[in-house]
Amino acid sequence: MPQNYHYNGKEVATSIFKAPVEGTRGVSYLNIEGDAQGDLKSHGGKLKAVYSYDISYYDHWKILLERDEWQYGLFGENLTTEGLTDDKVLVGDIYQIGTVRLQAIQPRFPCFKLNIRFGNDDMLQRFMQEGRHGVYFSVVEEGSISAGDEIQLEERSRYGISIQELVRAYYNKGADKQLVEEILSIEFLPERLRKAFKSYREG
């Protein structure tokens, strides 16, 4: 749930302090039961209902950061996965987990709240440099999910663009113009990203 924290002299509402839960949780078109976002302008909504971060990324960060606490949810995800890395997930892929169907929509572009969570003022920058962003999903079909549920790829995307490729194209400001056109052809591309890639095409 949202909590208030002081950061750089300001009070900030954030729900980034997440922890693992047991049992079965309902998944709606907007969220997972028991979870909430502190800033609905930047987080949440139908195109960011579920944010997944892969277990393998934890292994990577453990090598880079000296830290005692490594419980899942540390990166603000409400779904920790195994096998859904940015290079494997295509924008538009549909997965079945429990009785829930999820569609990969976009990568997570982090904000300063990562610094709050890690108590490290350069964590945001390091996160972007390491290129392990995680995936935002929309909920195609509501249902329930439990820890340990199998993740099944139900439908491969007709767009051949991985989450990783979209991230790189965003950061290099559309150096590959053909890729920019392919990204802009994604009918459900969030408006913020569409605006950015249109500017790359015109720039």
pLDDT digits (tens, 9 = 90+) for 20-75: 998 999 999 999 998 876 665 666 689 999 999 999 999 999 999 999 999 999 99
CB atoms within 10 A of CB 24: 15
Say which CATH number the domain at 46 has. 2.40.33.20
**Domain total in the chain:** 1
The verdict on residue 180 lying in a domain is no
Q: Are 92 and 116 in contact (CB under 8 A)?
A: no
The verdict on residue 193 lying in a domain is no
Cα 134 to Cα 57: distance, rounded to the nearest angstrom: 9
The verdict on residue 13 lying in a domain is yes
Give the predicted TM-score (pTM) of the model: 0.94
pLDDT tens-place string over residues 118-169: 999 999 999 999 999 999 999 999 999 999 999 999 999 999 999 999 999 9
Single-letter code of the amino acid located at 172: N
Range of the domain at 47: 3-162
The verdict on residue 190 lying in a domain is no
Cα 11 to Cα 100: distance, rounded to the nearest angstrom: 36
Burial-class residue 124 by CB neighbours within 10 Å (0-12, 13-18, 19+).
middle
Closest to 189 in 3D by CA, of 156, 153, 152, 157: 157
The verdict on residue 157 lying in a domain is yes
Q: Are 54 and 81 in contact (CB under 8 A)?
A: yes
